[in-house]
Amino acid sequence: MMKTNTTKKAEKKCFFIFLLLICSYLCNAQLLSGGRDRLETIKMSYITKKLNLSDKEAQKFWVIYPQYLKDLSTVRHNCPNDAIKREEGILDVRKKCRNQMIPILKDSQRVNEVFTLEKNYREMLRKELRKRVNTTDSSK
């Protein structure tokens, strides 16, 4: 069965459209991942600066903190519909993390400040996102 010239052109167009869609999907995924990495870097800088961590403290702190975030994520994922169980799990993770951080930060007040700074950082991100969304909406 011979393909006509028109059929071949249509197949080429479909192939290139498909290829373009795949490339744009991959580029967008990379941008989103890069954005998360950049936000994590900013968060690390923010917390390090606000806690006034020494190099030695920062080196030890940034080993514990990512595990703390993973543990929080696990609790939130495992208890999506049970608010009380989720909050108890979060509290347990924070207590465990506090016990690991006290020897590093040498002060329970500084450890509590970690949790406060984390909350403040999330709030700053929310405000910035709202501001950007409102700016985008008003320009339409």
pLDDT band at residue 140 using 50, 70 and 90 as cut-offs: low
Task: Give the structural domain span for 92.
Answer: 54-140
111 and 105 in contact (C-beta within 8 Å)?
Answer: yes
Residue 93 belongs to some domain of the structure? yes
pLDDT of residue 37: 84
- The candidate with the shortest Cα–Cα distance to 106, out of 137, 73, 60, 74, is 60
Is residue 118 in a domain?
A: yes
Query: What pLDDT does 14 receive?
Result: 53
- Is residue 30 domain-resident? no
Q: 50 near 113, Cβ under 8 Å? A: yes
Instruction: Note if the pTM is more than 0.75.
Output: no
The string of pLDDT tens digits covering residues 69-128 is: 999 999 999 988 999 999 999 999 999 999 999 999 998 999 999 999 999 999 999 998
Tell me the per-residue pLDDT of 125-139, one tens digit each, with 9 for 90 and over. 999 888 888 887 666
**pLDDT of amino acid 19:** 47
Would 25 be classed as within a structural domain? Answer: no
pLDDT of residue 139: 64
What is the predicted pLDDT for the residue at 6? 74
Q: Does residue 117 lie in a domain region? A: yes
Looking at the chain, how many residues does it have?
A: 140
Residue-wise pLDDT for 4-59, tens only, equals 677 767 666 654 464 445 545 554 544 455 677 888 889 999 999 999 999 999 99
- Count the Cβ atoms, other than its own, within 10 Å of residue 84: 8
pLDDT of the residue at 13: 62
Count of domains forming the chain: 1
Who wins on pLDDT, 41 or 3? 41
Residue 36 lies in a domain: no
Residue 3 domain flag: no
Helix and strand totals (H; E) in the chain: 4, 0
The secondary structure element, H or E, covering residue 110 is helix 108-138
Domain annotation covers residue 96: yes
DSSP state of 81: S
Other residues' Cβ atoms within 10 Å of the Cβ of residue 39: 12
- Tokens for 139, please give them: 């320009």
